[in-house]
Structure 1
Amino acid sequence: MIEGVARVATRRQAAFGRPGRAMRRGVMASLVAAGLLMAAAPQQAGAVSLSATAYRLAVAESLGADEGMAAFYRDRDFAPIWTGSDDRSAQRRAALIAALEMAGAHGLPGARYDLPGLMARMRQVSGEQARGALEVELSRAFLSYARDLQSGVLTPSRVVSDIKREAPRRDPQALLQALSSGDSETVLRGLVPQSAEYSRLLRAKLMLERKIARGGWGAPVPAGKYSYGDTGQGVVILRDRLVAMGYLRPTLSATLDAEMSNAITAFQADHGLQADGVAGGATLEQINVAPEERLKSLIVALERERWMNLPEGLGARHILVNLTDFQAQIIDNGKVTFETRSVVGAATPDRRTPEFSDSMAFMVINPSWYVPRSIVVNEYLPQLRRNPGAVSHLEITDSRGRQVNRGAGFAQYSAASFPFSMRQPPGPNNALGTVKFMFPNQYNIYLHDTPSKSLFERSERAFSHGCVRLSDPHDFAYALLAPQTDDPVGFFQQRLRTGAETRVNLDQPVPVHLIYRTAFTEPKGQVNYRADVYGRDAALWQALAAAGVVLGGGQS
C-alpha cells in the first residue's frame, strides 16, 4: 500500500512545482505514517453491529451543526470515505496528506489544517468511536483546505469594507461527493484555480522564495540619480541589483551604459513608472523594495485570484479594470483586445473606487450628469449658501424635475434638509464627457469619458470621486459595439452628432470586474508591481498573516 501512496504523492507534486529534497523526505515520512491507520480486528457478528453503531454515533456527534457534512454522511448511511480499510480510503488519506504538505506553496495557512495532529491521531486511533471522530476530522480538514484553495482564506469585506465582493464558496456536500466518487488525486488537483494568472503568480512566488533563500537581491542602491554614462560604487550596486532581479545579464561594467539603461527602462515599465532609463527618486524607491515585500504582494495576489475563481468564469468577453494599474481592458477569450488608461477614485475614504463585479448593460451617448447626493451637499451646497449663482453650469431641480429659481437663495438649508437635486445637461464640458458606460450597481460606479484629459499623462491617476474615467472612451465604445453592428464608428458618431442624450443597449451584456492587484503577470510570465494606492493589500497581508500564512511557505 505504501508504494502506491508514494506514486500518488509523486504525481501530486506536478500541481505545485517540484519540491526540494527535504520536502520530499517530509512528504514520504507523512505518507508512511498514513499507512498506520489500522483496520478494525475481526469480530463476532454481534460485536460488529455494536461497533458499527458506535462508529455511526461518533460520526453523528462529531458533525454537530455542520449541515453540509451531515447531509453527505446521512445520504451514505455514515459509511466512511477516509477511515475504511479499503484501498480507496488509503488513497484518499495519502492524497490529502500530500496536498496539506504543500498548502504553504499556495500561500495558505498550513497550520490551520493541523496535519501533524491528524497524523498523530491516525497513528493512535483505537476503537470505533475514535475512528468515527477521526473520519469527521479528516473531512473537516479537507473542506477547510478546499474552501481556502478554491475561493480564498479571507472573507474580503471583513478585512476591507470597500471590497464589495463575495468569495465564491462551493457547496461542501458536493465537494465531499466528488471526492467519494472520483479519483482523489484528480479531485484535489482540481481544487486549484485553473486561471493562467493563478499559475503564473504561483510560479513567480516559488521563484522569488528560492531567490530569497539564496540571499535575495543584494544591497539597496544608495540615494541619488543614475543616468547614462555615470560611474562609481552606486552604479555597481545598481548593476548588481538589476542582475539579481533578472533585468540585466551578468556584466563587469562599472558604467551605466546602454544595456543598463535599457534594464532600468524595463524595470520602470514593469512597475508603472515613467520609462526613461534614469534611476532617480521614484525608480530607486521601487528598486530598493525588499524581495520579502514583493513576496507579500504575490501572496495577496494569489488570495485575490482565488476570489475571482468563479464557477461560471469571468466571461468569454469581459471588462477588467485594475485600479492600481490605472488601466481598463476588454478581454476576449483570454486575450486583451482593447486597452486604455483610466483615472480612478482618489485615495480619500469617501472617494476610493470599490471592488466588485457586475454586468455592463448599456451606454449613454451625450449623457447628463446627475450629481451624487454626497457631492451636492458636501461640495456644492456650501458654495450655494454663500452665492446662489454659484455652479451655474448645473441645473437645480425639485422632486418633480422642475428647475428651481435660485433667487430665494439656499442659506436656510443644511446638508440634511436640502431637498433638491442637481444635473448637468449634455454638452462639451459635461463632467462625464460624451459617453458613459453603465453596469447598474448600488455603489453608483460606472465608466465614462471626461473633459479633463491632462490627468491621463500622469503615472499615478487616483483623482476621481469614485467612478472610472477612460482616456479613449470612443474607441472603447467602438470595441463594445463591434459585435452588434457592421459600422460601430458610424453608429456611434451619428448619435453623438445629434447632441441628444441617447441610450444604446448592448445586445450581449458584458461582465465588468473592478479588481485591485499590486502584483500581476503578463502572458509570458513577467511580474508587474504597482503601488498600494488605497492601502488595501497591506491590510490583506496582515489578515493573512494573522490567519497563519507565512513567508517562504512554498520554499524548496
Structure 2
Amino acid sequence: MPTIHHIFFRAFALLAIVLSFAATPQTATAQTTAFRQAVAEGAARDDVLAEFYRGREFEGIWTGTTGRDRARRNALLAAFAGAGDHGLPAAEYDPNALMARLQAASTPAEKGAMEVEMSRLFLSYARDVQTGILTPRSVVSEIRREVPLRSRLGYLQGFLASTPASYLATLPPNSPEYARLLREKMSLERLLAQGGWGPAVSSGSLAVGASGVAVVALRDRLVAMGYMERSATQIYDATIQEAVQRFQQTHGLAEDGEAGAGTLTEINVPAASRLQQIIVAMERERWMNRPRGERHVWVNLVDFSAAIMDNDRVTFQTRSVIGATGSNRQTPEFSDVMEYMVINPSWYVPRSIVVNEYLPALQSNRNAVSHIEITDSNGRAINRSNVNFSQFNSRTFPYSMRQPPSRGNALGLVKFIFPNQYNIYLHDTPAKSLFGREVRAFSHGCIRLNDPFDFAYALLAAQEDDPEGVFQSHLDTGRETRVNLDEPVPVHLVYRTAFTHTTGQLNFRRDVYDRDSRIWDALANEGVAVRAIGG
C-alpha cells in the first residue's frame, strides 16, 4: 500500500513533469509526459529509485534508442544470462523473458514501467552477485557476520559513470577462492549432465584384498571423481587404496586407505549434493566480499584447522578443536582483529559454565572443582568452607570463578585475543588427545589449537628477531603476561564445507553444525537450483 510519502512524491513528480514540458510541441510532450509519469509512479515505491530518477528528471537509462541505452540494456541482459553460473536464481534474471517484456511494451507508459523494472532488477542482481542473496543471521543465528552491503544508489551512479559491461563484470567477488569455486561449479555441472559419478557403492565397508561388484563400483566411482586412472582391476589393490587415501585427504577423513563406513558414506554423496555445497560456499564468499588482510588468520570450523595466510598462501597451519554440536556451545562465525596474546593465562570461567556446571557440583560437594578459585566482586579469593552453596541458584549466585596460570589450566599456556562480544578466542589446551579425532567438536565455543606455541612464533616473527626466545622468556616466568601484536591481524572464523586449496584442489567437509543444509534450503526457496549443463 503506498505511504503518504509516496503519494506526495508521485503528485510532486507528476507536477514537475507537466511544468517542465509545458512549452514543448504537443505530441512529443504527451509521449514524454506519459513515459516520465510512469517512471515517477513506478519509482515512487522505492526511495532509492525515486531519488535516482528524480535527479534525472525521470529520464530513462535502459529503454531509449540511443547507443548508450542499447549498450546498457545489452550488458544487463548478458549479465543476467550468466546469473546461473554464479548460483543465483536464474528464473529471476531470465534475459529472454525480460526481452519479451521489453518488446511487448509499446506505449510510453508501458516503456516507463519497464524502465523502472529494469532498474529494480539491476539493483537486485548487483546486490545478489556482490554480497549475497540471503541475510546470514536470519537463516542461521550463529552466523554473526556483517555483510558488506553497498549503497544501492551508488550502484546506479557507478553504472552510469562506467562502461556498462565492464562495470557489471566487477560486481562478483574478485577473490581467488571465488574464481576457483566458480570454475569447479561449472565443471561439476558438466559432469552432472553426463550422469555424475555413476552408481553408489553398495557395501558396509571395503578393505585391501576385497573383490566383487562393490569393489568395481568403488573403482568406477573413484575414476569418475578423478582420484585414479581408468583400470580394469576387480580387486581392492594398492592402486585403489592410494585413490581412497587421496579421497580421504580431500574430505578431511582419516587417511588409512580403507573404505570404511564413514569413507563410503562420503564417497556415495551424489554429485548434485556436492554441487549444492559449492553453491553455498559461493554465497558465503559473497558475504565476505571485502579485503581479508594481506596477512590474516583463517579458521575453517568444519575443517578443524586454523591457518595463517599471507597473500592467499598458507604459511602456517594447525589442527583445531571447535565448539560442541549442542545448540549453546557451537562456535559462531564472524570476523575480528587479533590484538594480543596472553602467555600463562588465567581462565576466567564463563558465567554459563559457573552456574550450569560448577554450582551444581559445589552444592553436592563444596570441595568440588578444587583447582578453581572462587572470587568475590572485587576479585578476592573466598574460603569456600564459609559458603552455603545450596542457598543459591543460577540467578542469585554472587561469585565468579578463576583458574590461575598452570600447565593444567583449561586454556593451556597461551591464548590469542581478538576482542569480541562473544568471548571467543584461540587458545592452547591440556586435552591434547582430542586432536587425534577425525571430528573435533568438543569445546564450549572457543577454538583450541594443537600447536599453539608454533602459532605464537609465527605471529611474533613479524615483530621479533627471535620470536621463540621472546615467547619462552615470558613463559618461563610463570606469570600472566600480555604481549601485543605490533600489527594487529584480522581473524576470520568461517564455515566452508566446500573449499579449494591454492593449488586448485577441491575439498569437501561434513556439515557438522547442519548450517549449510539450512542455507541451501533458504537459497532454494529464493529460486536457486542445481543444474546440469552440456558442452
Report deviation, 1:197: 0.8
CA deviation map 1:76-122 (0-9, x unaligned) = 33332111211111111111111112211111112223545422321
Does residue 316 of structure 1 match 2:294?
yes
Distance, in Å, in 2 between the alignment partners of 1:491 and 1:66 is: 59
Report deviation, 1:334: 1.3
Task: Within 5 Å, give how 1:515-530 maps onto structure 2.
Answer: 515-530=494-509
Instruction: Tell which deviates more after alignment, 445-454 or 224-233.
Output: 224-233
Residue type at the aligned position of 1:290: P
Aligned to 1:27: none
Aligned to 1:467: 446
Match of 1:173 among 145, 149, 153: 153
Match of 1:241 among 187, 197, 221: 221
Aligned to 2:72: 92
Aligned to 1:481: 460
Does residue 150 of structure 1 match 2:130?
yes
Does residue 229 of structure 1 match 2:209?
yes
Provide structure 1 residue ranges, at least 5 long, that are not aligned to the other structure: 1-42
Distance, in Å, in 2 between the alignment partners of 1:535 and 1:544 is: 15
Report if the CA contact (8 A) 1:104-1:554 is conserved: no
Provide structure 2 residue ranges, at least 5 long, that are not aligned to the other structure: 1-22
In structure 2, do the counterparts of structure 1 residues 44 and 61 end up closer, same or farther at CA, with 3 Å as the change threshold?
closer
Aligned to 2:242: 262
Q: Secondary structure at the match of 1:274?
A: coil
Report if the CA contact (8 A) 2:127-2:149 is conserved: yes
In structure 2, do the counterparts of structure 1 residues 325 and 281 end up closer, same or farther at CA, with 3 Å as the change threshold?
same
Match of 1:396 among 364, 374, 397: 374
Distance, in Å, in 2 between the alignment partners of 1:400 and 1:460 is: 41
Q: Secondary structure at the match of 2:221?
A: helix
Distance, in Å, in 1 between the alignment partners of 2:504 and 2:149 is: 28
Number of residues of Structure 1 aligned to a counterpart in Structure 2? 512
Q: Secondary structure at the match of 1:396?
A: strand
Aligned to 1:332: 310
Instruction: Tell which deviates more after alignment, 139-148 or 98-107.
Output: 98-107
Q: Secondary structure at the match of 1:534?
A: coil
Q: Secondary structure at the match of 1:483?
A: coil
Task: Within 5 Å, give how 1:333-352 maps onto structure 2.
Answer: 333-352=311-330
Report deviation, 1:166: 2.3
Aligned to 1:13: none
Aligned to 2:399: 420
Residue type at the aligned position of 2:186: L
In structure 2, do the counterparts of structure 1 residues 555 and 329 end up closer, same or farther at CA, with 3 Å as the change threshold?
farther
Q: Secondary structure at the match of 1:324?
A: helix
Distance, in Å, in 2 between the alignment partners of 1:367 and 1:528 is: 36
Distance, in Å, in 1 between the alignment partners of 2:207 and 2:177 is: 35
Q: Secondary structure at the match of 2:306?
A: strand
Q: Secondary structure at the match of 1:247?
A: coil
Aligned to 1:545: 524
Report deviation, 1:138: 0.4
Report deviation, 1:555: 5.9
Aligned to 1:377: 355
Residue type at the aligned position of 1:536: R
Report if the CA contact (8 A) 2:330-2:444 is conserved: yes
Match of 1:492 among 447, 461, 471: 471
Distance, in Å, in 2 between the alignment partners of 1:399 and 1:67 is: 52
Aligned to 2:331: 353
Aligned to 1:536: 515
CA deviation map 1:353-406 (0-9, x unaligned) = 000001111111111100001000110000011111111111111111122221
Aligned to 1:36: none
Does residue 199 of structure 1 match 2:179?
yes
Report deviation, 1:66: 2.4
Report if the CA contact (8 A) 2:356-2:394 is conserved: yes
TM-score, with length taken from structure 1: 0.90
Distance, in Å, in 2 between the alignment partners of 1:299 and 1:537 is: 10
Report deviation, 1:553: 6.7
Match of 1:49 among 11, 15, 29: 29
Distance, in Å, in 2 between the alignment partners of 1:208 and 1:249 is: 18
Report if the CA contact (8 A) 2:312-2:502 is conserved: no
Report deviation, 1:44: 7.2
Instruction: Tell which deviates more after alignment, 334-343 or 252-261.
Output: 252-261
Residue type at the aligned position of 1:266: R
Q: Secondary structure at the match of 1:328?
A: strand
Q: Secondary structure at the match of 1:463?
A: strand
RMSD over equivalenced CA pairs, Å: 1.6
Report deviation, 1:554: 5.8
Does residue 83 of structure 1 match 2:63?
yes
Residue type at the aligned position of 1:145: Y
Instruction: Tell which deviates more after alignment, 347-356 or 167-176.
Output: 167-176
Match of 1:363 among 341, 359, 382: 341
In structure 2, do the counterparts of structure 1 residues 144 and 553 end up closer, same or farther at CA, with 3 Å as the change threshold?
farther
CA deviation map 1:4-35 (0-9, x unaligned) = xxxxxxxxxxxxxxxxxxxxxxxxxxxxxxxx
In structure 2, do the counterparts of structure 1 residues 117 and 209 end up closer, same or farther at CA, with 3 Å as the change threshold?
closer
Distance, in Å, in 2 between the alignment partners of 1:453 and 1:267 is: 26
Distance, in Å, in 2 between the alignment partners of 1:487 and 1:74 is: 63
Report deviation, 1:50: 3.7
Q: Secondary structure at the match of 1:161?
A: coil
In structure 2, do the counterparts of structure 1 residues 469 and 317 end up closer, same or farther at CA, with 3 Å as the change threshold?
same
CA deviation map 1:34-73 (0-9, x unaligned) = xxxxxxxxx9723323433333332222112423223322
Report deviation, 1:193: 1.1
In structure 2, do the counterparts of structure 1 residues 345 and 269 end up closer, same or farther at CA, with 3 Å as the change threshold?
same
Distance, in Å, in 2 between the alignment partners of 1:554 and 1:437 is: 47
Report if the CA contact (8 A) 1:360-1:510 is conserved: yes
Instruction: Tell which deviates more after alignment, 44-53 or 520-529.
Output: 44-53
In structure 2, do the counterparts of structure 1 residues 93 and 553 end up closer, same or farther at CA, with 3 Å as the change threshold?
farther
Match of 2:273 among 293, 298, 304: 293
Residue type at the aligned position of 2:102: M
Report deviation, 1:134: 1.3
Aligned to 1:252: 232
Does residue 69 of structure 1 match 2:49?
yes
Q: Secondary structure at the match of 1:484?
A: coil
Report deviation, 1:316: 0.8
Report if the CA contact (8 A) 1:317-1:333 is conserved: yes
Distance, in Å, in 2 between the alignment partners of 1:67 and 1:479 is: 50
Residue type at the aligned position of 1:435: V
Distance, in Å, in 1 between the alignment partners of 2:318 and 2:130 is: 31
